[in-house]
Amino acid sequence: MREEQLRSLLSSLSHLSEHGDIPVHAFSTLMRNTRVDLITEHLHQKWLADSNFGRIAAQIILHLRSIDDHNISFASGCLALVLRDYKCKYELRNKSRSMFQNYVRTINHLYPTFRRIDKCMGNAILDPLMDCLDILTDEDAEDRDVRCMAQIMIESGKLLNEVRPVLVENLIMKLRQIICAKDIPLSEETNVFLLNIIDLYTYRWDSQAIPDCLKRFYEEQLPSDARQWEYTNRSSRKRTTSLLGVPGSSGSTTSDDPSPSLSHSRTATPDNASKHSNISEAESLV
């Protein structure tokens, strides 16, 4: 496959992910026709440029692993790129804050995936993830940095608190200091995110323990996909129409496994014709 085709395919996958459908067999064909190092490098470029692509990359890695559970070359290649960027994290941040933010988002999505594939692989990026979250709230932080960190903690704070409770506690204390010191000009939305994280930490990310008055407050202040108790439910619903379309449960499911789900639903929707058109376009590139 030519590099231009590969870039077009990844762009199509990014678009299709917004609708929940990706032609799963495209990845199998892609792996047969393209060098692993070429695919991983293009994924690497895409997750640095696209704030939403880290989640897609994690599911691609998990799916390709499910095809051949004895071959970890693809996952290892992605891990190597993540660790390579970590070594030059400050240079990456100085070059582009948005690229660094996307990098941290990607590590956040890759951690549970690597953890599921191999515990050592997961551990290899856990401390880099925690370190990068800390960097996002350092003295040079801007509103977008703090917001990125807040969004990650809202999404993954429960898991991170289980594996690195002391480091999460330190991050929570830094957020308290940021709110009180007001040295970093923060938007109203970012301030609400920070309050949300502190409340989630206080109630140990237990949606049942969060008082209704706080839930109502955040329902009024935050978009629905930013609320932790709704994020869990929304994520579970999306698992019925996952990005990779591996046959699974057709109903709403939940799982204690933090890795990206690979279930798929074939429920018809009004815009299926448009979706299938996009899928066919992506398939034609393979």
Q: Does residue 4 lie in a domain region?
A: no
Q: Is residue 283 part of a domain?
A: no
At residue 31, the pLDDT reads: 66
Calculate what percentage of the chain has a pLDDT beyond 90. Answer: 54
Q: What average pLDDT does range 188-216 have in this prediction? A: 94
Q: Is the pLDDT of residue 259 over 70?
A: no
User: 266: which residues sit within 8 A by CB, 6+ positions away?
Assistant: 250
Scanning 182-211, the segments in alpha helix (DSSP H) are 188-202
Residue 246 has pLDDT above 70, yes or no: no
Compute the CA torsion angle 42, 48, 54, 59 (nearest 10 deg): 10
**pLDDT at 239 > cutoff 60:** no
Pick from 9-13, 80-84, 104-108: least confident: 9-13
Using 50, 70 and 90 to split pLDDT, how confident is the model at 30? low
Give the CATH number of the domain where residue 203 resides: 1.25.40.180
Residue 245's pLDDT is 35
Res. 244: pLDDT tops 80: no
Give the span between the Cα atoms of 163 and 114, in whole angstroms: 14
Q: Report the range of poorest mean pLDDT among 67-76, 248-257, 273-282.
A: 248-257
pLDDT of residue 65: 85
Distance CA 215, CA 197 (A): 13
Cα–Cα distance, 277 to 286 (Å, whole number): 15
The answer to whether position 94 is within a domain reads yes
**74 assigned to some structural domain:** yes
280, part of any domain: no
Domain range holding 241?
Answer: 23-261
CA 53 to chain centre: 8
- For 253, the 3-state DSSP assignment is coil
The pLDDT score that the predictor gives to residue 234 is: 41
Whether 114 maps to a domain, the answer reads: yes
Tokens of 163: 């594996």
pLDDT in the model for residue 21: 60
pLDDT(110) > 50: yes
* Band (23; pLDDT cuts 50, 70, 90): low
Distance CA 29, CA 64 (A): 11
Domain count, the chain: 1
Contact, 222 vs 231, CB < 8 A? Answer: no
Residue 220 included in any domain: yes
> Could you say which DSSP state residue 261 is in?
P
pLDDT of residue 7: 79
Residue 10 lies in a domain: no
Q: What is the mean pLDDT of residues 123-137?
A: 98
Task: Round to whole Å and give the CA distance between 55 and 155.
Answer: 12
